[in-house]
Amino acid sequence: MRRYSIASIPGDGIGREVVPAAIEVLTAAAAKCGFVLEFRHFDWSCQTYLETGKMMPDDGLDRLRDHDAVFLGAVGFPGVPDHISLWGLLLPIRREFEQYVNLRPVRLLPGIASPLRDKAPGDIDFWVVRENSEGEYSQIGGRTGTGENEIVVQQAIFSRRGTDRILRYAFDFARRSGRRHVTSATKSNGLYHSMPFWDERFAAIGAEYPDVAADQYHVDILAARFVMSPERFNVVVGSNLFGDILSDLGPGITGTIAVAPSANLNPERRFPSMFEPVHGSAPDIAGQGIANPIGQIWSGAMMLEHLGEAEPAALVMRALETALIAPDIARTPDLGGNGTTAGFAQAVRSTLLGL
Amino acid sequence: MRRYSIASIPGDGIGREVVPAAIEVLTAAAAKCGFVLEFRHFDWSCQTYLETGKMMPDDGLDRLRDHDAVFLGAVGFPGVPDHISLWGLLLPIRREFEQYVNLRPVRLLPGIASPLRDKAPGDIDFWVVRENSEGEYSQIGGRTGTGENEIVVQQAIFSRRGTDRILRYAFDFARRSGRRHVTSATKSNGLYHSMPFWDERFAAIGAEYPDVAADQYHVDILAARFVMSPERFNVVVGSNLFGDILSDLGPGITGTIAVAPSANLNPERRFPSMFEPVHGSAPDIAGQGIANPIGQIWSGAMMLEHLGEAEPAALVMRALETALIAPDIARTPDLGGNGTTAGFAQAVRSTLLGL
Ligand SMILES: CC(C)[C@H](C(=O)O)[C@@H](O)C(=O)O
Ligand SMILES: CC(C)[C@H](C(=O)O)[C@@H](O)C(=O)O
């Protein structure tokens, strides 16, 4: 029997609720399709930080290394500054494991209303390919001077290698998925050095893919176009920061970011890839058992796909979409229902078993 | 009679069409209200660059200095790289004249449909206060290494002085406008040095305004919230880059960025402020006389307001809003009509004269 070892890190807040819920669904899919998912749990979180001064143990990355994938909930909680929690756990995993692709579908699901007028599933259906290892997120920089004279410097670093590989991934993905149109997010009119370079590489790599259409927009107007004409996008590629913004805005136009998944991919498979919802730890509703588990379940489907289990992945998505339009299923409060995390996951699970 | 000297720079593309159209409306308002606007025209543009190698003459900034305001159309055109055209004209004006505030209303106008469901004028009505002089837009950085080994570095610079003054402006503005709620755009979970500093200063300055509510969101989720719940914003303050993105996304949710105005303000009035629409030079429709002049006219109203002519400013806005809902007025193609730039401006002008 095929076996996959998965490191699960529920993390903080609602991560601790949606991860177990999603695992139930994934385990059912595995059982039904004849393979085994072995989850090993790592209880690393802001709580760990408050107790030990570290988000994860010193050998944390090594402990994850031998798994087939990492399944993460959410990191960050009030009381621990974000830049500590994230740079102590999430970002080192992305970087150490060269998960340089952050792949995020933006797709309107059946049964969920878009805040945009007159949009049905199919009208909003594209992918954001985000650079996930360098760029604007950098620890280089610092503060100098004091009081009124203080100056803070933040460096962004774009390497040719890092830029080319994400652009190439985007074009390959566009070709592979049959959606032969890549849009680049730039800001070369304001960001004097980094973005003209990005544009140059986009043109160079694009030239290697004559069968894929390529265009580019400054990120400001691109954000506006996500709202005004989402139909026109297929694959949108952006830097770490731009990809981050666009891949939250994307789910925003599909109704809620609670449903959005993401895959942090090491395409060469030298290291485990990591799957996590786009939403955060949501301290405002944490502990109440009412968090929407869809983003986590969908992230799980992306994980199955990455593991080579394409059919089970499709099965999970079919179950999710079927459950979403079933009249008698109690959806979570963010979707206007009064259901619970566990209840909704159960419903998806039994829908799946019945498919 | 009160006289104001205005430097007008139509610039490129549709800037050359919407600036004259707006000037007609503003001149009519001045005549009706008993003051004089003296426009002096500066023909600086990408065309100038192609002919002379410079976007403006060496003493360009000095020639503008003695005016009461600068009225700009749009800068940038295919054939001249954006980072040349912008850093050769627009950005030096913003910086040399310490126009450190970029103020942009996000307001749904009557007669224009929002792409968001169920929104009427009043539902979307807030302001973006953007830092306009430093931050991510910096010429510090460069490229090193060649070929596969090339590395590009882009520095962002945040000064305490620059950060504090924009935050203070936002809180003052919130107090003055009676909309006592300021939301800060941050990204302190990813941008390691700059944004934790920004948050720190936001908390410190906010403490000076106990009568103004303050909250903050990471820019990614904030972008999503613009779409999901625009009603909840009053004044949104952001860095140069974040403010740029949010103030294009804002107009996106109000239907079109063609209508959005902006004021580049030197609040101390040591230097002229500059007024320009948010849209660019729109090469795709330039030269056809069909560009929507609303963003330029509204920018003109903001200019009148800044000059101390609040009543004429309100008159221009009233004329604009009245014209927009008049059944027989030919709107420009972007608003679904078949009218021209000149025709629409004429209609606003005669509406104004009739008010
Ligand atoms: C043209 C460009 C440099 C400019 C900016 O980003 O500041 C524009 O987008 C704006 O918002 O005024
Ligand atoms: C938590 C934060 C550092 C992270 C990011 O910006 O990368 C998150 O917003 C995401 O998109 O995964």
Residues lining ligand 2, Cβ inside 6 A: A 86, 90, 244; B 189-190, 220
**Chain B touched by A36 (CB under 8 Å):** no
Q: In what order do the strands lie in the sheet with B35-41?
A: B35-41, B2-11, B69-74, B273-277, B261-265, B101-107, B125-131, B235-238, B181-186, B213-218
**Alpha carbons A93 and A86: distance in angstroms, whole number:** 10
Long-range pairs, A26-31, Cβ under 8 A, ≥24:
A26/A297, A26/A300, A26/A303, A26/A304, A26/A316, A28/A349, A28/A352, A28/A353, A29/A304, A29/A312, A29/A315, A29/A316, A29/A319, A29/A352, A30/A312
What pLDDT digit, counting tens, does each position of A191-208 carry? 999 999 999 999 999 999
What is the reported pLDDT for A328?
A: 86
| Residue-level pLDDT at A137 | 96
- Count CB atoms within 10 A of the CB of residue A47: 16
Give me the average pLDDT of each 10-residue run along chain B (355 residues): 97 98 98 98 96 95 97 94 89 96 97 95 96 96 96 98 98 95 96 96 98 97 97 98 98 94 98 97 96 98 98 98 91 94 97 96
Question: pTM of the prediction?
Answer: 0.96
pLDDT number for residue A83: 80
Instruction: State which CATH number among 3.40.50.1470, 3.30.365.10, 3.40.718.10, 4.10.140.10 fits the domain covering B105-252.
Output: 3.40.718.10
Q: Is B18 exposed, middle or buried (0-12, 13-18, 19+ CB in 10 A)?
A: buried
Residue-range domain boundaries for chain A: 1-100+266-355, 105-252
Portion 279-298 of B in contact with A at CB < 8 A = 280
Domain A1-100+266-355: give its CATH code.
Answer: 3.40.718.10
Element (H, E) at A7: strand A2-11
Plot region of B296 (φ>0 → left; ψ -120 to 50 → alpha; else → beta)? alpha
More confident residue, B83 or A92: A92
Please, what is the Cα angle at B156 between B273 and B277, to 5 degrees? Answer: 30
Same fold, A1-100+266-355 and A105-252: yes
Q: Which pair of tokens denotes residue B69? A: 């305001």
Query: In angstroms, what is the span from residue B208 Cα to ligand 2's centroid?
Result: 31
Picking from A85, A143, A219, the nearest residue to B197 by CB comes out as A143
Beta carbons of A263 and A103 less than 8 angstroms apart: yes
CA B33 to chain centre: 25
In A12-100 the beta strands, taken as DSSP E runs, fall at 35-41, 69-74
Interface test with A, best of B153, B163, B276 (most A CBs within 10 A): B153
* Contact (CB<8Å) B228/A117: no
> Rounded to an integer, what distance in angstroms lies between the CA atom of residue B153 and that of residue A136?
10
| DSSP of B149-214 | G-EEEEEEEEEHHHHHHHHHHHHHHHHHTT--EEEEEE-TTTSTTHHHHHHHHHHHHHTT-TTSEE
Is A328 annotated in the active site?
no
pLDDT digits 0-9 by tens, A19-68: 999 999 999 999 999 999 999 999 999 999 999 999 999 999 999 999 99
Range with lowest mean pLDDT among A79-83, A106-110, B201-205: A79-83
The answer to whether the CB of B18 falls within 8 A of the CB of B295 is yes
CB contact under 8 A, B224 and A251: yes
- Cα Dmax for chain B: 66
Segment (H or E) for B46: helix B46-52
- Count the neighbouring beta carbons within 10 Å of the beta carbon of residue A62: 10
